[in-house]
Amino acid sequence: MVKEIRNGILFFDGCDTTALAAQYGTPLYIFSETEIVSRFSELRSCFLEKYYNTRVAYACKAFCTPAMLRLVMREGMCIDVVSGGELYTALRAGFPPERIEFNGNNKLPSELELAVDAGIGRIIIDGLQELPLLESICRKKGVRMNVLYRITPGVKASTHDYIVTGKKDSKFGIPLEDTVIYPAVEAAIRSEFVNFLGFHYHVGSQLFDNTPYLQALEVALGLVRETRKRFGFSVRELNIGGGYGIRYTGEERRPYSYFLDPVMTRLNQFCADEGIERPAVVIEPGRSIVGEAGITLYTVGSIKEIPGVRKYISVDGGMTDNIRPALYQAVYKGMLAGRADEPATEQVTVCGKCCESGDLLMRDVMLPPARSGDIFAVFSTGAYGYSMASNYNHNPIPAVILVKEGRPELIVRRQTYDDLLTCAVIPDSLK
């Protein structure tokens, strides 16, 4: 267990969290290398080593820093990027371009040029206009890129509406109407400038049920069969996205095999029935790799009691370092890191310091009576926390440290007030 209590103090991957707060300041994001590596090891044994011709492309939107990408690289995985910025970060971190896949529903010409120039592994085409745009870039540069089509499988996964992506009414993916998808497939197969490999879909995020994965697979298998029938083309790759759920509060995390084994069994059976070679299978986990590997530490500041109504505990961060409670009503667990043995006798609402009434990190949670100066830890903040952080109210973005078996290392330094001004310009007219 990377999380343990020793003498009433929360330790994370062998480090005293109160000492880390004192050393690095708060708010502070902490990532456990041990936890991240254990997720990759699980994937290696239950997927990569169990099924040939498979790849894991970590969805780095969940947490993207050069150090994290070096760790992913060391673990031998691929990555999925969704912007020129993530791609640039990966390239600067020395990530092998051929192990990079590029998703996104509105890739800019400049982003596609960067991808083509770098010679990345795959571009996941997400709309009908993207193929001609990519072809024009490839023509200019005299290269041919590997591509897949992202489809919208029309599956409604049970999760928050903002993180359902595979339903029919979605901004992502190409609609599956025959008159839309097959001309697009034909154009990609016949193109001189792309090498069409197959299909991609992502049904949603924070899922605990394998049913939508199997439903989406059936849709994709229909496409595989039809593509062969119509064009004599055997699909070589299927990318089935990410979405595997993690523990925020009381959830029970399902092992990856719960999702992947039924998919692989069905796919193998389909290929045997059709007499075709099984396409390569790629998955794109993000949240499940880093979510539980991250915690955030805050310092308690002002405390406000409204008699008979509510007690607010303010911390020194909030929606700027974790937008998820405000954005998706996400719920988290937390504790006073230096008083972990004390009974939780008070119901409180933990709020951030931003000028928004909705800047509440946790509503109605039980804690020991908190005092100003206490260190408050929030669990499972590793995914979509730092990566969604903002400078709202000109709050600097916190530092990030990586811990492993008692050894902390800084991987992103805390922003300074000067950092907030690096891009700002005062024009002559206002000098």
- The residues that touch ligand PLP, with contacts defined as CB under 6 A, are 59, 62, 80, 103, 165, 202, 205, 241-244, 284-288, 383
Q: β-strands 399-404, 407-412: how paired?
A: antiparallel
> End-to-end alpha-carbon separation of the chain, Å?
57
Q: How far is the CB of 400 from ligand PLP (least distance, A)?
A: 18
Q: How far is the CB of 283 from ligand PLP (least distance, A)?
A: 8
Q: How far is the CB of 132 from ligand PLP (least distance, A)?
A: 22
Q: Where are the beta strands (DSSP E) in 1-151?
A: 3-6, 9-12, 15-16, 28-32, 54-59, 78-81, 100-102, 122-125, 145-150
The structure tokens listed for 208 are 């605990």
Q: What is the DSSP letter of 60?
A: G
Which residues partner with 54 through β-bridges? 281
Tokens 């595997």, located at residue: 244
Q: How far is the CB of 157 from ligand PLP (least distance, A)?
A: 10
Residue nearer to ligand PLP on the CB measure, 79 or 350: 79
Q: Is 129 exposed, middle or buried (0-12, 13-18, 19+ CB in 10 A)?
A: exposed
Report how far residue 337's alpha carbon sits from residue 393's, in angstroms, rounded to the nearest whole number: 27
**Which residues are CB-contacts of 362 (< 8 A; sequence separation ≥ 6)?**
325, 331, 332, 334, 349, 350, 378
Q: How far is the CB of 165 from ligand PLP (least distance, A)?
A: 5
The structure tokens listed for 174 are 């190409």
Tokens 């909030």, located at residue: 318
Residue nearer to ligand PLP on the CB measure, 288 or 395: 288
Q: How far is the CB of 367 from ligand PLP (least distance, A)?
A: 29
Residue nearer to ligand PLP on the CB measure, 312 or 328: 328
Q: Which of 78, 271, 355, 423 is catalytic?
A: 355
DSSP letters, 119-164, are T-SEEEE-STTHHHHHHHHHHHHT--EEEEEEB------SS-GGGB
Q: How far is the CB of 124 from ligand PLP (least distance, A)?
A: 7
Report how far residue 196's alpha carbon sits from residue 243's, in angstroms, rounded to the nearest whole number: 25
Q: How far is the CB of 249 from ligand PLP (least distance, A)?
A: 17
For residue 152, give the nearest of 199, 185, 184, 93 by alpha carbon: 199
Tokens 């796919």, located at residue: 267
Output the CA–CA distances (angstroms, integers) from residue 4 to 57, 201, 343, in the order listed. 30, 38, 17
Report how far residue 256's alpha carbon sits from residue 328's, in angstroms, rounded to the nearest whole number: 24
CB atoms within 10 A of CB 48: 17
**Chain length of the chain:** 431
Active-site residue, 355 included: yes
The structure tokens listed for 357 are 């009434």
Tokens 């909705």, located at residue: 358
Active site residues: 355
